[in-house]
Amino acid sequence: MKKTGLAKGEAKKLMGGLKTENATFGGSAPAPVDRKEQRKRDQALGLVPFAVKLNGDLVAQLHAQAKERDVDMNALVGELLAKALA
């Protein structure tokens, strides 16, 4: 690897470290959840990742309804799909 490539990599590491330090400075940010641990929790609950592409207007309606009901987007979409398929 060239010297410039190494310098760029070091700069990215440094900037990434600064971003995480600044994000938690002065506040009590929740501890980040490890992705593997989150995946294990989701699997234990029987949850499966399911990606879809939706129209922007529909997504805006979903966000509005989730905010109105004060529920998680995953819970809202699951509930609406269950009703539609029943």
Alpha carbons 53 and 56: distance in angstroms, whole number: 9
Q: Which residue would you say has higher pLDDT here, 74 or 5? A: 74
Summarize pLDDT for 23-37 with one digit per residue, the tens.
555 556 667 778 899
Average pLDDT, the chain: 83
The pLDDT-based confidence of 21 (bands split at 50, 70, 90) is: low
pLDDT for res 8 = 79
Q: What is the DSSP string of the chain?
A: --HHHHHHHHHHHHHHHHHHHHHHTTS-PPPPPPHHHHHHHHHHTT---------HHHHHHHHHHHHHHT--HHHHHHHHHHHHH-
Q: Are 73 and 62 in contact (CB under 8 A)?
A: yes
Q: Where are the domains of the chain?
A: 3-25+48-85
